[in-house]
């Protein structure tokens, strides 16, 4: 099952999910989960704005909550 984590400013999350679902269906993938992760930038770090100017203030490599989700996904699909 592919795991898709997305957080971008534009286009709105709902429309990106529709596009993801279209592409997964076109590729014959039926087993997937799309998750909306609030408060993260595209590098999966906890942030306030998601703006590039904030990157220099973030000391985190990846959010612990994301690591737990990825861990659960690996254990589930293994």
Q: Which domain holds residue 23?
A: 3-77
**CA-to-CA dists, residue 40 to 11, 14, 30, angstroms:** 16, 17, 27
Structure tokens at 20: 């993801």
**pLDDT one-digit tens code per residue, 23-51:** 999 999 888 888 888 888 888 999 998 88
pLDDT band at 8 (very low <50, low <70, confident <90, very high): very low
For residue 77, name the pLDDT band (cuts at 50, 70, 90).
confident
Look at the chain and report how many structural domains it folds into: 1
pTM over 0.75: no
* Residue 42: per-residue pLDDT: 84
């Amino acid at each position: 099952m592919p795991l898709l984590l997305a957080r971008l400013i534009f286009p709105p999350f709902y429309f990106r999910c529709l596009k993801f679902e279209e592409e997964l269906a076109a590729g014959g993938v039926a087993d997937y989960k799309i998750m909306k992760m609030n408060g993260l930038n595209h590098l999966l770090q906890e942030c306030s704005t998601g703006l590039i100017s904030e990157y220099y203030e973030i000391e985190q490599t990846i959010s612990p909550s994301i690591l737990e989700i990825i861990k659960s996904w690996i254990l589930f699909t293994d």
